[in-house]
């Protein structure tokens, strides 16, 4: 009798599993059949928000379903990201992941509310924005060499700004200090906007920023070097650090689209294809490049997953080098 009950239980269990699998497969095959929410864990108006809205608009036009951007800011992107990982892994809630939330913050906050290695299904790498070494328009430093020569001859006399301890500006400057041996003073602000304003006003000597390309184009700031492997389309006349003799000075913010962990592979593959198509479209690519971004060649979700894992490790080293402490 026990054997019969065991066989009956196994048969019922197999049926339940088969039913769940067939339901998931059916849901995947009908995807998308409803609007999609794209969470931006930052306030409206910033680079992450602009990028998210470009992707949402492009996807809406391609897939026949509305993609709605929802801003959920706070705690350096942690609040929106922590809320996102609790969503159903069905492809109807996506997130704009960034180097701040998914690579730097895990080394800066004790209580994230999410696991950067386990709570996400990476979908597509969208863009990266290189850090640019900038000085006020009236600065006496006309070149990178001018700045370095003065910094080395006058240790502790120059200052630089950032959006806060552990921000991309802080980490980029920390890397420059490590590579060159210069002694300069860090002045953290509550956001990149106030820091850029202080730089334009002459209260700062320099900054290595990702979001001031428009101010450089407008002549409010002067760019001396870009921290990427090649020059950017937005600032084609500005040399790379490598051209100036510092090849290891690579610093950038990156952006990609992820889903909650457990999202079906079929949905991830579908979204990867569609998002790559959006990003590579002439209109979106040009808009991103005008922002100072570099658009990578199309890649699959597995490649983006490997990139995210490597960045998590790299940022750990950068933050340790910077001396930033966990909050």
Hey, what are 129's tokens?
């924005």
What is the spatial distance between Cα 176 and Cα 171, in angstroms, rounded to a whole number?
9
* Confidence band for 13, pLDDT divided at 50, 70 and 90: very low
pLDDT, one tens digit per residue, over 94-131 is: 999 999 999 999 999 999 999 999 999 999 999 999 99
CATH topology of domain 34-129+253-322: D-Maltodextrin-Binding Protein; domain 2 (3.40.190)
pTM above 0.75, yes or no: yes
pLDDT (mean) for 281-286: 96
Q: How far from chain centre, in Å, is Cα 280?
A: 18
Helix (H) or strand (E) segment spanning residue 170? helix 168-180
CA distances from 26 to 2, 46, 87, 131, 235 (A): 36, 38, 20, 45, 48
Q: How confident is the model at residue 190 (pLDDT cuts 50, 70, 90)?
A: confident
The 3 state secondary structure assigned to 309-327 is HHHHHHHHHHHHHHCCCCC
pLDDT digit string (tens) for 198-253?
999 999 999 999 988 999 999 999 999 999 999 999 999 999 999 999 999 999 99
Identical fold for domains 34-129+253-322 and 132-226, yes or no, is yes
pLDDT digits (tens, 9 = 90+) for 33-55: 999 999 999 888 888 999 999 99
Sequence spans of domains, the chain:
34-129+253-322, 132-226
* Mean pLDDT computed over every residue of the chain: 91
Task: Give residue 149's pLDDT band: very low, low, confident or very high (50, 70, 90).
Answer: very high
CATH fold for domain 132-226: D-Maltodextrin-Binding Protein; domain 2 (3.40.190)
All residues at 6 or more sequence positions from 220 whose CB lies less than 8 Å from its CB, including other chains: 137, 200
Dig out the tokens for 31 from the structure.
């995807």
> Could you give the CA distance from residue 255 to residue 128 in angstroms, rounded to a whole number?
6
CB atoms within 10 A of CB 138: 8
């Amino acid at each position: 009798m026990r054997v019969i009950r065991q066989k009956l239980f196994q048969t019922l269990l197999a049926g339940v599993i088969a039913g769940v699998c067939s339901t998931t497969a059916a849901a995947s095959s009908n995807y998308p059949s409803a609007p999609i929410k794209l969470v931006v864990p930052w306030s409206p108006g910033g680079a992450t928000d602009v990028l998210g809205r470009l992707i949402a608009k492009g996807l809406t036009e391609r897939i026949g379903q509305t993609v709605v951007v929802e801003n959920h800011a706070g705690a350096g992107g942690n609040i929106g990201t922590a809320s996102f990982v609790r969503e159903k892994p069905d492809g109807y809630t996506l997130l704009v992941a960034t180097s701040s939330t998914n690579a730097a913050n895990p080394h800066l906050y004790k209580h994230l509310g999410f696991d950067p290695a386990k709570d996400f299904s990476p979908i597509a790498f969208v863009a990266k924005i290189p850090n640019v070494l900038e000085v006020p328009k009236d600065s006496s430093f006309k070149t990178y060499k001018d700045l370095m020569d003065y910094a080395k001859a006058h240790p502790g006399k120059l200052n630089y700004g950032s959006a806060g301890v552990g921000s991309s500006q802080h980490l980029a400057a920390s890397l420059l200090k490590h590579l060159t041996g210069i002694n300069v003073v860090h002045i953290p602000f509550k956001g990149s906007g106030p820091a850029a304003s202080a730089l334009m006003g002459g209260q700062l000597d320099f900054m290595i920023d990702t979001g001031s390309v428009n101010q450089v184009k407008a002549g409010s700031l002067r760019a001396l070097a870009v921290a990427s492997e090649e020059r950017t389309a937005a600032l084609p006349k500005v040399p790379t650090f490598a051209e100036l003799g510092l090849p290891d000075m690579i610093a950038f913010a990156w952006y990609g689209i992820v889903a909650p962990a457990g999202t079906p592979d079929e949905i991830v593959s579908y979204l990867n294809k569609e998002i790559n198509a959006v990003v590579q479209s002439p209109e979106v690519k040009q808009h991103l490049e005008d922002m100072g971004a570099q658009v990578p060649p199309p890649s699959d979700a597995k490649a983006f997953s490997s990139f995210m894992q490597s960045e998590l490790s790299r940022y750990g080293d950068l933050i340790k080098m910077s001396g930033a402490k966990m909050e």
